[in-house]
Chain A
Amino acid sequence: NAGVTQTPKFQVLKTGQSMTLQCAQDMNHNSMYWYRQDPGMGLRLIYYSASEGTTDKGEVPNGYNVSRLNKREFSLRLESAAPSQTSVYFCASYRGDTYNSPLHFGNGTRLTVT
């Protein structure tokens, strides 16, 4: 059982380039999330999808777009990367039918924008 799979694990972009971070879960979870983690800042929510076909902004959505392609997949797109988007990105999924379920995380993508 793979859980939550993120690709790529590492990426270096030049300012202005675009890329898509991929995330897939095989736990039949309803909800999926994208977080970024910067030193001393904890995990900050970028976008989330409560269910297939819906997406909502989190705390720090500027500069990002998302697509909930189907129940399994939730991608994060950087249209024009900026150095401020250098961070570690985590995708997570959640059952979504009870408050008492935790998040399940992928292994993260370490992105550097030069």
Chain B
Amino acid sequence: QKEVEQNSGPLSVPEGAIASLNCTYSDRGSQSFFWYRQYSGKSPELIMSIYSNGDKEDGRFTAQLNKASQYVSLLIRDSQPSDSATYLCAVNRNTGGFKTIFGAGTRLFVKA
């Protein structure tokens, strides 16, 4: 079992729809959680971070965290073609040394 799991996709949604991206993690000692967006040929860029159970909203993005279920999600409302990218879920933990572990990423396509 991978430490951080994501559905690789591709996930295809029409423009204006809600895109829902999911991530599970195995280490209960994980402290904080991040979503990075990566366009093809570019480096990852942070779009959301979440540390406590519940929802966190920032513009069209909402991150959701459920530590009991070891589950993190990202909702993108009013999806735009410019949201088409790979979304990487990342987890900070301090087991065996502090490190950030990434999932394999979910490719999202938003169709105009």
Residues of A that sit less than 8 Å from B by CB: 31, 33, 35, 40-45, 48, 50, 56, 58, 90, 92, 94, 96, 99-100, 102-103, 105-108
A41-B104, A45-B99 known; A107-B43 Cβ under 8 A: yes
Interchain CB contact (< 8 A) of B43 among A40, A48, A56, A106: A106
B97 and A105 contacting across the interface, CB-CB below 8 Å: no
A48 and B99 contacting across the interface, CB-CB below 8 Å: yes
Interchain CB contact (< 8 A) of B101 among A45, A99, A108: A45
Interchain CB contact (< 8 A) of B102 among A40, A42, A106, A108: A42
Q: Top 10 nearest A-B pairs by Cβ distance?
A: A42-B104, A99-B31, A105-B43, A43-B102, A102-B46, A99-B32, A42-B102, A99-B92, A100-B32, A42-B105
CA distance A99 to B105 in the complex (A): 21
A40-B8, A43-B102 known; A56-B51 Cβ under 8 A: no
B88 at the interface (CB under 8 A from A): yes
> Interface digits, B24-68 against A, CB 8 Å rule (1 contact, 0 not)?
000000011010100000111110010100000000000000000
Shortest CB distance A66–B (Å)? 14
Residues from chain A with Cβ under 8 Å of B101 in the complex: 45
